[in-house]
Every structure is written in structure tokens, then in C-alpha cells.
A and B are shown apart, each in its own frame.
Chain A
Amino acid sequence: MKLEIKDSPGQLVAALKPVSDVGGNIKSVIHERDPLSESKTLDVEITLELPEGKLDDLKNLLKKSGVSILRIGEERFLIRKSVILIGHLIHTDLSDTVDRIDGTGFAEVGELSMIMPAVNEPTSAKLTIKSDSIEDITRAMDLLRDISRQKGILIVEPLEGI
């Protein structure tokens, strides 16, 4: 995310405070004073991590402190959701399930960990889906629910959120 702020003392703090206010995490800050620029503004490029759904809050807070946003970067797949799948996962082709999520283009499977059960017992796997926005993760979850219904797999979803 790239921010434009006024070149006066305290402004950088004014721009950074809202990030922590919404629970975000600043990864790096790069100043660049454009020598050709006539204006008295300072460009600051901030890379940050935000909790789910907090981008709008941050934008509002920044606007209130007089900071204008030049550009919001194309950071991808910061929202994640872990579910546990239970069933005959191998038998129903787990890699096909993963491919169908990855194939959407708007979500992908991050981690996948599995416990091999005793013979004839169902397999349990933890699967993390990553995506850009709440809507996309909801769409990916809907798809996963559909696939699971077709394949007779039980999904245990987290309580919070969607």
C-alpha cells in the first residue's frame, strides 16, 4: 500500500497510527522524496498486513487524519480460513478437491495436513484456504461445501466469521 502524506513533522506518525488502531502489522516503510516534485508532499510506501475485513476501516481513519492514499497494492491472499475435512478423503481424490479450489483463480489452498487413520476409519485433514477478500473466501467455502456434499465429506468450519 502506498500512502501520500504532507511533509511536516508528525505526519508519518499520523499515517502509521491508524494501522495499529485497526490491528494491522507494519512490515516496512520506505520514504521517497521526489526531487523534481514541486509540491510539499512526501511519498511513503508502507507494506502491511491487515486482519480480515479491516481495509475499509483503515481507509476511513487515514482520510480523517488527512492522509491520502495514492495506491493500494496488489497484495494477494491475506485472508485465510482453516477447516477440517473428515471422510474417505484419499478415496474421493483429495488432490482433485484442492485443484478445484486452486482453479478458481480467486482462492488457493495454503497448508494441508493430514492424519492417516486406522484401516477403514475416515481420514481427517486440516486445510487452509487463502484469498484476497471476505467475499472470495465465502465463494471458495461455498465451492468447498458443494464438493464435500458430492463426495460425502464432512466439513468442520471455524465458528467465527463466515
Chain B
Amino acid sequence: MKIAILGFGSVGKGLARIINEKNLGIIITAVGDSKSGIIDNKGLDICKILDNKEKTGLCGDMKITPELILNSADYDVLVEVTPTNADTGQPALEYIKYALSKGKSVVTSNKGPIALEYSNLLKIAEENKCFLRFEAAVCGAIPIIHALEHGLAGNNIKRIYGVFNGTCNYILTRMSDEKLTYQQALLEARELGYAEADPTYDIKGIDAAIKLVILANTILGFHKTLDDVDITGIDNIPSDALQLAGEDEKTIRLIGEIDVENEKLRVSPRILLKNHTLVVQDTLNAVTAETDLAGNVTLIGKGAGSVETASSIISDLLFIRECNGRRY
């Protein structure tokens, strides 16, 4: 199976490393970042490219653009791992559409295009008899899409709820356990690389809300946008509130929730017993699906990280190969 990777940051490099180390039968024929690209249809020398990227900030030749890669490289699947733009989905949206319309399957970790245009992208994929997979876009390493779509097939899903943002979970964990103020905990999260320089998306609950929109539209067949989500972030939670919760052996976590029957999506800080399954520590994510046959099923794992996120991409790639009768 031959793949082209667009985006060579944390996730892209993690993926390349795994493919290089594990004998998965996946060959990388092209890689592109924001300023350069490299193509070799017989398979690239990954070590050299990682080295180059490290030293120069470029993965390849500045003359090789993403468009050129999409057009002329030999690949079965495009792996799209460029930055998320929640408003426009670009440039990822164009890359994905282009690949699908040429009959190439796409695996992405990018929330933007899936939250904004899933039904349209699915239509293009179906018309061109190829796949669009996005396991890595929701809760990083946790195979939540696969679990809901395939593992729980035949169940009616009544509610999906849980911790969808590792940054907020880290901040709240530290406020609760160490009595840090919100500002102290945020600062610490930044120093450890768990929060971006501009943490707005995370702490205002927008990142969690986008993930709910993706689950609602892809698994439940809704047609939701970010505006349909009732969102409250954690930036107004004082440590006093966590102390009050703590008096009753409870704590506060940012919970994303899809009420399937009422088609309601909500992200808000909520009170939970400290020993509740969803009260996970630090940057972990945890999601419960309430179903009619299986009862409650909870998945817990890492919501981000280079290799962890790449794990979900690998799983999507192998799934596509399986579905294609291992033709490549």
C-alpha cells in the first residue's frame, strides 16, 4: 500500500517513524510540509527526510508543492495531517476533495474538514468508490469511531458523553488535586506542551464541541454545526468551586455530551464523583456510549501525542487495505 503524507509536523513525523520501524507493508511515496515536498514512487528514505526536517525545517524540495504531490505521486491513500482550521477547513479540505475525486482514499487527523463538510466529502468518496477515514480526528489514540461504527453495530446509541479535551482535563486535575489556581494550572500546561500558546480553542470548549459535531454527523447522521452546540468552557472556574465539590468527594470535569433522542449537543463543566469512570487524570480522554444492547461502554486513552495519534491513522490505513481485499 502506497501513501502520500501532507503535513509533516508532530503527527506526520510520528506516522513516518512507525511505518519505518514496523513491517506493515506500507510504503511512503511522498511527503509535503508548508514549504517543501519530496516524491519517490519506489518509496522514500524516511530516516533521511526526518533528519533533513530536523536540520533545515524542510522535508524536501521547495519546488515540490502539495498540488504537485497530489497530482503526480503514485499513492493509494492520501494521509492528510495539516493544521486544523475550524472555520474554513482549508487547505486540507481542497487536498481531501482533490484526492477523493481522483479515486484515492483519504485518512485524516484534521477535525476541520470533517466537522464542516462530512456529507459532501462522503458523497465524493462514494461516487469515486474510495474511503474517507478520520479516527485520529476524535480523541487521538482512542478508536472511538471504529468502536461506535463497527464494534457497537446493531445497538441504538442513546447518549455519548465524556472528556474530549486533554488540555482542560489536565488543568482541572491540577486545580482539584494540587489546589492550583486556574492561571497556575494553565501556565503549567503550557510549559509541559499540553496547551498551545493560544489555548482559546481548548479552554473555551470549542475543541470538544467540534469533536461532538464530528461524532453527531458521522456516526449518528445528524447535520450539526459548531453553532448548534451549547458551549461553556472552563476559563471561569475558580479553584474554590473545585474545593466545594471536593467536600463531597466530587470534582469538576469538562464534559461533552450528545443527547441522541433530543439531538442536543452540549459542552460544559460538570460535577462528578471522584471515583466516576470518566474522572480520568491529566491529559487522558474518556468517552462513554450508552446503548440499548451493550449497556454502557467506556473507552479511556490518550487524546493526543505524536505516535498515539499516528496509531489511529495506521489503524485506518490497515482498515482500508482490509476492505479492499488486500489488493495493495
By a CB distance below 8 angstroms, the chain A residues around B161 are 159
By a CB distance below 8 angstroms, the chain B residues around A133 are none
On whether the beta carbons of B268 and A157 are closer than 8 Å, the reply is yes
By a CB distance below 8 angstroms, the chain A residues around B232 are 154
> Please, how many residues of chain B have a CB less than 8 angstroms from a CB on the other chain?
23
On whether the beta carbons of A159 and B244 are closer than 8 Å, the reply is no
- Cα distance, A117 to B238, chains bound together (Å): 9
Interface residue SS majority, chain A: strand
By a CB distance below 8 angstroms, the chain B residues around A84 are 241, 244-245, 252, 271
- Cα distance, A59 to B245, chains bound together (Å): 35
A82, CB-defined interface residue at 8 Å: yes
On whether the beta carbons of B238 and A86 are closer than 8 Å, the reply is yes
By a CB distance below 8 angstroms, the chain A residues around B269 are 156
> Please, how many residues of chain A have a CB less than 8 angstroms from a CB on the other chain?
19
On whether the beta carbons of A159 and B270 are closer than 8 Å, the reply is yes
On whether the beta carbons of A156 and B241 are closer than 8 Å, the reply is yes
On whether the beta carbons of B268 and A113 are closer than 8 Å, the reply is no
Question: Smallest Cβ distance from B31 to chain A, in angstroms?
Answer: 43
Partner of A121, one of B238, B255, B272: B238
On whether the beta carbons of B252 and A156 are closer than 8 Å, the reply is yes
Interface residues in A103-162 by Cβ distance below 8 A to B read 113, 115, 117, 121-126, 154, 156-160
A86-B238, A159-B255, A159-B278 given as contacts; is B247 within 8 A of A126 (CB)? yes
By a CB distance below 8 angstroms, the chain B residues around A69 are none
B276, CB-defined interface residue at 8 Å: yes
- Cα distance, A160 to B232, chains bound together (Å): 18
- Cα distance, A108 to B243, chains bound together (Å): 24
B68, CB-defined interface residue at 8 Å: no
A83, CB-defined interface residue at 8 Å: yes
Interface residues in B243-265 by Cβ distance below 8 A to A read 243-245, 247-248, 250, 252-253, 255
B240, CB-defined interface residue at 8 Å: yes
Question: Smallest Cβ distance from B9 to chain A, in angstroms?
Answer: 34
- Cα distance, A157 to B255, chains bound together (Å): 11
The closest CB in chain B to the CB of A128 belongs to: B248
- Cα distance, A125 to B240, chains bound together (Å): 9
B275, CB-defined interface residue at 8 Å: no
On whether the beta carbons of A122 and B238 are closer than 8 Å, the reply is yes
A154-B232, A156-B252, A159-B278 given as contacts; is B272 within 8 A of A124 (CB)? no
B72, CB-defined interface residue at 8 Å: no
By a CB distance below 8 angstroms, the chain B residues around A122 are 236, 238
Interface string of B56-67 (1 = CB under 8 A from A): 000000000000
Partner of A86, one of B241, B243, B248, B255: B241
By a CB distance below 8 angstroms, the chain A residues around B244 are 84, 113, 115, 124-126
A154-B232, A159-B161, A159-B255 given as contacts; is B271 within 8 A of A82 (CB)? yes
- Cα distance, A81 to B272, chains bound together (Å): 12
Contact sample, A vs B, 9 pairs, CB 8 Å cutoff = A113-B247, A121-B238, A124-B243, A125-B244, A126-B247, A156-B252, A157-B271, A158-B250, A159-B270
Query: Lowest 7 A-B CB distances belong to which pairs?
Result: A124-B240, A115-B240, A124-B241, A159-B270, A126-B244, A158-B271, A84-B241
